[in-house]
Amino acid sequence: MDELVVEAMAVLDQALSRGRSSPEAWRDAVQAIGDRLLALQVTAASYADPYLNDVLDAQDTDPVADAVVQPAAFADTTDGGGSWLQGLVFAPNSVREPGVEWASRFAFVARSITATGITDVARGSVQAGMQARPATRWYVRMLTGKSCARCAILAGRQYRSSVAFKRHRRCDCRVVPAAESVRDWTVDPDEYFRSLTTEEQDERFGKANAEAIRLGADVAQVVNAESGVYVASAHGREYLATTTGTTRRGLAGQRLDGAARLLPDEIFLQAERLGWDREEILAQLRRNAYLI
């Protein structure tokens, strides 16, 4: 699938080379490359049945199907709904600033839309093919590249084949049907984190979050904490806290007994401000349920 994304990007670059001057020029440039992009989507969908057959054969699972994937039906579609090419045409509308900055920013948006259109179809056609195969009731999420923190904590999770694939724009994670979890970085968040360099860990997880994980904090606890962030105040000072995991059933809620749950970033800021040593930092990470 990666080669199709690379090819789509090469086609897109042809449009970008002559369509950055105005939205009208961009519309004409997209129209000129539209058929080639749609053909790549159809090709991506055509891989679904052979892929499913190979994967299921490798697992000694019957790949027999009640129906076959119709690749042409996936042309000009995207998981978000609507026309893929129309979304590409309107990419300049997502950037309000005119001039050079406008051109470079809308080019980034256009590349995101293009890459997502290929990977969405690849995953969607595989999920359609899974529904046609009685043996495939589940799928596992697998990482393929240097994925973001949100994708990393979902790696290796098993879902019913009818459950929609959670993805963001340019997400390159893959669907592995009826697979058993293999203990490597492709399906294990901790292994994935350790596969990155220190610089990559800081970039993808945030410096404070990455440091907490390096000290032994649970990857999922750290990443999920970001979703419930709010600003709390105490003793005349504001600090970052999170509502995630603070219910009575949550480990943090049990440990904190009603107190605000600090983010890892806030723990390290307080450590610097108050001169905490490593033992105190570890104690705070445990108290806030980032360490078990």
pLDDT tens, position by position, 61-101: 888 888 889 888 888 888 767 789 998 988 877 666 555 56
The stretch 41-57 carries a mean pLDDT of 92
Q: Is there a domain that residue 89 lies in?
A: yes
What pLDDT was estimated at residue 145?
Answer: 66
Task: Answer yes or no: is pLDDT of 264 > 90.
Answer: no
Order of strands across the sheet with 138-142?
Answer: 158-160, 138-142, 174-177
Nearest 10 degrees: Cα torsion 231, 232, 238, 239: -70
Domain boundary among 150, 165, 189: 189
Task: Answer yes or no: is pLDDT of 179 > 70.
Answer: no
The stretch 2-23 carries a mean pLDDT of 88
- 149 and 251 in one domain? no
Q: Is there a domain that residue 239 lies in?
A: yes
- 48 and 182 in one domain? yes
Q: Is there a domain that residue 222 lies in?
A: yes
Give the percent of the chain with pLDDT over 70: 76
- 204 and 172 in one domain? no
Name which of 10-14, 89-93, 181-185, 257-261 the model is least confident about. 181-185
- 153 and 205 in one domain? no
Handedness of CA 59, 64, 70, 76 (dihedral sign): negative
Domain boundary among 163, 189, 215: 189
What pLDDT was estimated at residue 42?
Answer: 94
Q: Is there a domain that residue 10 lies in?
A: yes
What pLDDT was estimated at residue 10?
Answer: 95
What pLDDT was estimated at residue 30?
Answer: 92
- 248 and 176 in one domain? no
- 262 and 146 in one domain? no
Nearest 10 degrees: Cα torsion 75, 126, 63, 136: -140
- 111 and 72 in one domain? yes
- 174 and 65 in one domain? yes
Residue type, 54: D
Burial class (CB in 10 A: 0-12, 13-18, 19+), 126: buried
Task: Answer yes or no: is pLDDT of 36 > 90.
Answer: yes
Give the percent of the chain with pLDDT over 90: 15
Contact 144, 173 (CB under 8 A): yes
The greatest distance separating any two alpha carbons of the chain, rounded to the nearest whole angstrom, comes to 66
Q: Is there a domain that residue 42 lies in?
A: yes
Give the pLDDT band of residue 196 (cuts 50, 70, 90): confident
- 46 and 86 in one domain? yes
Higher-confidence residue of 178 and 11: namely 11
Q: Is there a domain that residue 292 lies in?
A: no
State the average pLDDT for the chain. Answer: 78
Q: Is 182 helix (H, G, I), strand (E, B) or coil?
A: coil
Task: Answer yes or no: is pLDDT of 153 > 60.
Answer: yes
* Domain that residue 172 falls in: 2-189
Contact 67, 97 (CB under 8 A): no
Task: Answer yes or no: is pLDDT of 133 > 90.
Answer: no
- 151 and 43 in one domain? yes
Domain boundary among 161, 189, 217: 189
Task: Answer yes or no: is pLDDT of 43 > 90.
Answer: yes
Give the pLDDT band of residue 181 (cuts 50, 70, 90): very low
Task: Answer yes or no: is pLDDT of 13 > 70.
Answer: yes
The stretch 182-195 carries a mean pLDDT of 66
- 147 and 163 in one domain? yes
**Three-state SS across 86-140?**
HHHHCHHHHCCCCCHHHHHHHHHHHHHHHHHHHHHHHHHHHHHHHHCCCCCCEEE
Q: Is there a domain that residue 73 lies in?
A: yes
What pLDDT was estimated at residue 109?
Answer: 87
Q: Is there a domain that residue 29 lies in?
A: yes
Count how many domains the chain has: 2
Q: What is the pLDDT of residues 203-256, one digit of tens each?
A: 877 888 888 888 888 787 777 665 555 455 555 565 555 655 555 555 555 666
Q: What is the pLDDT of residues 101-123, one digit of tens each?
A: 667 777 888 998 999 899 888 98
Q: Of 9-18, 148-157, 198-207, 261-270, which one has max mean pLDDT?
A: 9-18
Q: Of 31-45, 172-186, 222-236, which one has max mean pLDDT?
A: 31-45
- 144 and 104 in one domain? yes
Q: Which residues contact 50 (CB under 8 A, 6 or more apart)?
A: none
Contact 124, 139 (CB under 8 A): no
